[in-house]
Amino acid sequence: MNKKTLLAIALVAAVSMVGSASAADKIRLGTEGAYAPYNFVNDDGKLAGFEIELGDALCAAIKAECEWVVNEWDSIIPNLVAGNYDAIMAGMSITDERKKTITFSDEYMPVDPSMYIAAKGTELSFDSLEGKRIGVQGATIHAAFAEEKYGKTNTIKSYEKADQTLADLMAGNLDTVLADGDYLKPIVEGSAGEIAFVGPQETIGGGIGIGMRQDQTDLHEKMNAGLAALKKSGKVDELIAKYFDGKGPFYGE
């Protein structure tokens, strides 16, 4: 590449930078868009779900202008740290492991047991699981848990998206899938008996919170104040009940 083209590219970059500098006050919310009912792309092609509605309500409560950014799950923390967006709302459990790199707001969804599913009629003895293929979404609490508990004698297969674990389970390539109970419940109900819960429930990680960079103390305080107001007004409980089949209330007075 010669100097002129390099200069031209730098110029384009500089111009687009000036354009985006004015938008610096906007809060950018990162989400996955592939984890119904937390966050998903609906049939209108728009982002929707529990966290999308909650995030919009939160931004209204703290009088901030917000913008959603869709990012793949496996790079959602690195891209937060790199500054592509300011906060993560993507069904992310608060864990000590994650707290090493990012910080979390107060939870907006209490801890929910993780569960196993399998194709109907599958018998699995979870006390002595051996030679089985367990599907998890990569970089999740389930991936870490399954690796630690069953990794030695079983094969843990991790996928980019949660729905890919389902697809591979139904294709017969997996014996079981470990995921959030709240994610799996509507799937088991909607599968017309094809998929069933098996084995024990596991309590892994904490509740779900908003992930932020560690130096964003201002934003952290703002988000917590906003969440507290929405919990008090009953908005959070209302949205949980709406998206999670009447669950709760958890935060009401």
Interface with another protein (CB under 8 A): 1-2, 9-10, 12-13, 16-17, 19-20, 23-24, 28, 33-34, 36-37, 40-46, 48, 70-71, 81-84, 161, 163-164, 166-167, 170-171, 186-187, 189-191, 215, 243
**Residue with Cβ nearer another protein (117 or 129):** 117
Output the smallest distance, CB 224 to another protein, in A.
21
DSSP states of 113-176 as a string?
-EEEEEETT----GGG--S-EEEEETTSHHHHHHHHHHTTTSEEEEESSHHHHHHHHHTTS-SE
Q: What is the dihedral of CA 204, 179, 48, 235, to 10 degrees?
A: -30
**Residue with Cβ nearer another protein (4 or 63):** 4
Output the smallest distance, CB 245 to another protein, in A.
10
Output the smallest distance, CB 85 to another protein, in A.
9
Q: H-helix or E-strand containing 190?
A: helix 181-190
Q: H-helix or E-strand containing 195?
A: strand 195-202
Output the smallest distance, CB 50 to another protein, in A.
10
**Residue with Cβ nearer another protein (48 or 196):** 48
- How far apart (Å, rounded) are the C-alpha atoms in residues 177 and 145? 12
